[in-house]
A and B are shown apart, each in its own frame.
Chain A
Amino acid sequence: MRFMMIVKATSDSEAGVMPSPELLEAMLRYNEELAKAGILLAADGLQSSSSGIRISYPEPGGKPKVIDGPFTETKEIIAGYTLIEVKSREEAVEWAMRMPDPHGNGQGEIELRQVFEPEELSPHAGIQKQIRLQFKL
């Protein structure tokens, strides 16, 4: 199963302050560790929301509204993500716990979200799930 580890933005990351060399080094090491465990699928850091664009649909069925960044509400902004392929939810949590504090300034926050599996989106999801449970997959 795939999980996305989402690193939330902070006032620093939004202000374009680069992480310290120590933190960058720790992140690099961590990504290497994920790669060496064979579970790293993708990882990227994102530019601050000042170069971001938001497209919203305030009117159902209406035209989209396009807003240029920066955006406020730091907690709702993403600063980076890491996509991993693991065998269980617990394994994903364990790896997320090993990620260095992404900002080191008290605002660090990592959110872990599971990616839908293709079969979960199919009408037979129920049956598949039953089979999986039955055989403890």
Chain B
Amino acid sequence: MNMSKAERTIDAIWRIESAKLIAGLTRMVRDIGLAEDLAQDALVIALERWPESGIPDNPGAWLMTTAKRRAIDLLRRNKLRDQKYEELAYHKDLYTEEDLDSRLDGEIGDDLLRLIFMTCHPILSQEARVALTLRLLCGLTTDEIAHAFLAAESTIAQRIVRAKRTLNSAKVPFEVPAGEELNDRMSAVLEVIYLMFNEGYSATAGEDWIRPLLCQEALRIGRVLAEIAPAEPEVHGLVALMEIQSSRFRTRVTRTGEPVLLLDQNRALWDQLLIHRGLAALERSQKLGQPYGPYALQAAISACHAKAHEASETDWPRIAALYEALSRVTPSPIVELNRAVAISMAFGPAFGLQIVDELNAEPSLRGYHLLPSVRGDLLYKLNRFNEAQEEFEHAASLTRNERERELLLKRAAECAVCKKK
């Protein structure tokens, strides 16, 4: 499909305006699906008219006014049949002239925040939350989301339709949760964003070129959240983590697509702009004066690497300490495994191996390729090449990522060479 220049411009305006539009409409009509339909209707009308009439001065306000008119039309037709529409008829904002400039920025931010709490609502499956957030807050098309997840377009479309229906039938309110609930719900939101980012960053299966879109969207929505919920330390923590991880995009794989380990990356190519943004976000989180949460801790670890100009300058004792703090906040065998690596770097491979050996009995790590991979590395450093080779081969048999498998087999082969020496 070849889009005309006008269509491409409208597409860009949609990307800028759609989330605000859908958020504002959801506040008025209290139905996320209807709100999206109304916004889409406005877009269709824009696509018909703008190529002829030219783009209006304030396209966002134009789209909102048009969508509200559609809502009123719909109301008149359905009022007698459906009680929901009757409730809707009383919403005064539907009848006021749209003037986005006069609306306080804070109000728009609040609507966006309510919308994201809705799309990340725990009533939805994790997959549905991600798809709905990408669709309604990032303005991605179903087609783009499907590509990003290597899924069929119909699967994603269905997932989104079902999610909207679920929210509607459960009468999930359009609001920012208060009190105790806020913390849990905020965690759920951050989890969705980080899941989105990781899906893009780690490319768990198959080929890996399409994923950057997910990372970019996750980072963007994280930055938006940092502006509309600035008092949440973990929001800044997550943004810091994503900024710093993104700074290594261009060095984490070779030109032929092989992964490059953090310590082997060319640090001169790390994106200093993103590192500075990440460190600034971490500082914002710190300044809120609460103890580090799990995202801020991970960001602080990431920052240790970012600040070391050479791999040999890495502050491993600090990283080991941060992992220990992390394992207290969110105890998990994977955090423990990372702590083992940090300990081995700070105090020697034998100390790391002790922790790893304890993890060998951990049932949740069975089948996790990084465990034998780390163990192999530590054994290699202790010149126990026989055992190291076995571990690398075992790890290679477990990973789903082809590039990683190649890397692990290469390391196993190195062990075989070292044995003979």
Residue of A83, A87, A128, A136 touching B209 (CB-CB under 8 A): A128
Contact (A94, B13) CB under 8 Å given A32-B105, A85-B220, A131-B209: yes
- List, in ascending order, chain B residues with CB within 8 A of A90's CB: 8-9, 11-12
Q: Is the CB of B12 within 8 A of A137?
A: no
CB of A95 closer than 8 Å to a CB of B:
yes
CB distance from B326 to the nearest CB of A (A): 27
Query: Digit string of A28-50 for contact with B (CB within 8 Å is 1, else 0)?
Result: 00001101111111100000000
Q: Is the CB of B228 within 8 A of A93?
A: no
- List, in ascending order, chain B residues with CB within 8 A of A33's CB: 105
Closest A residue to B13 by CB, please name it: A94
Contact (A37, B249) CB under 8 Å given A42-B273, A91-B15: no
CB of B213 closer than 8 Å to a CB of A:
yes
Closest B residue to A131 by CB, please name it: B209
Q: Which of A33, A36, A38 has the most CB of B within 10 A?
A: A38
A32 to B143, CA, bound (A): 31
Residue of B12, B147, B209, B221 touching A91 (CB-CB under 8 A): B12
Residue of A32, A38, A93, A119 touching B224 (CB-CB under 8 A): A38
- List, in ascending order, chain A residues with CB within 8 A of B259's CB: none
Residue of A40, A88, A137 touching B8 (CB-CB under 8 A): A88
A-B Cβ contacts below 8 A, count: 67
CB distance from B23 to the nearest CB of A (A): 12
- List, in ascending order, chain A residues with CB within 8 A of B13's CB: 94
CB of A63 closer than 8 Å to a CB of B:
no
> Quick one: which of B119-155 are within 8 Å of A by CB?
143-144, 147
> Quick one: which of B208-223 are within 8 Å of A by CB?
209-210, 213, 216, 219-223
- List, in ascending order, chain B residues with CB within 8 A of A36's CB: 105, 109, 224, 227-228
A39 to B227, CA, bound (A): 12
Q: Is the CB of B213 within 8 A of A137?
A: yes
Q: Is the CB of A88 within 8 A of B11?
A: yes
Closest A residue to B9 by CB, please name it: A90
CB of A61 closer than 8 Å to a CB of B:
no
Residue of A38, A88, A131, A135 touching B222 (CB-CB under 8 A): A38
CB distance from A57 to the nearest CB of B (A): 24
- List, in ascending order, chain B residues with CB within 8 A of A39's CB: 220, 223
Q: Is the CB of B15 within 8 A of A41?
A: no
Closest B residue to A98 by CB, please name it: B16
Closest B residue to A42 by CB, please name it: B273
Q: Which of A36, A39, A119, A135 has the most CB of B within 10 A?
A: A36
Residue of A94, A118, A124 touching B9 (CB-CB under 8 A): A94
The dominant DSSP class at the A interface is mixed
Q: Is the CB of A37 within 8 A of B16?
A: yes
- List, in ascending order, chain A residues with CB within 8 A of B147's CB: 135-137
- List, in ascending order, chain B residues with CB within 8 A of A131's CB: 209
A25 to B222, CA, bound (A): 26
CB of B81 closer than 8 Å to a CB of A:
no
CB of B318 closer than 8 Å to a CB of A:
no
CB distance from A28 to the nearest CB of B (A): 12
A119 to B208, CA, bound (A): 14
Residue of B210, B224, B255, B269 touching A137 (CB-CB under 8 A): B210
Query: Digit string of A106-132 for contact with B (CB within 8 Å is 1, else 0)?
Result: 000000000000110011100010010
Query: Digit string of B162-206 for contact with A (CB within 8 Å is 1, else 0)?
Result: 000000000000000000000000000000000000000000000
- List, in ascending order, chain B residues with CB within 8 A of A137's CB: 147, 210, 213
CB of B307 closer than 8 Å to a CB of A:
no
A90 to B223, CA, bound (A): 21
- List, in ascending order, chain A residues with CB within 8 A of B273's CB: 41-42, 83
- List, in ascending order, chain A residues with CB within 8 A of B222's CB: 38
CB of B277 closer than 8 Å to a CB of A:
yes
Q: Is the CB of B9 within 8 A of A93?
A: yes
- List, in ascending order, chain A residues with CB within 8 A of B9's CB: 90, 93-94
What 11 new A-B contacts, CB under 8 Å, besides A38-B219, A39-B220? A33-B105, A36-B109, A36-B228, A38-B220, A38-B222, A38-B227, A41-B273, A87-B15, A88-B11, A91-B15, A135-B210
A to B CB contacts below 8 Å, 10 in the list: A36-B227, A38-B221, A38-B227, A85-B216, A88-B12, A90-B8, A90-B9, A124-B255, A135-B147, A137-B147
Residues of A within 8 A of B (CB): 32-33, 35-42, 83, 85, 87-88, 90-91, 93-95, 118-119, 122-124, 128, 131, 135-137
| In the A-B complex, the 5 residue pairs with the closest CB atoms | A90-B12, A38-B223, A38-B220, A118-B250, A91-B12
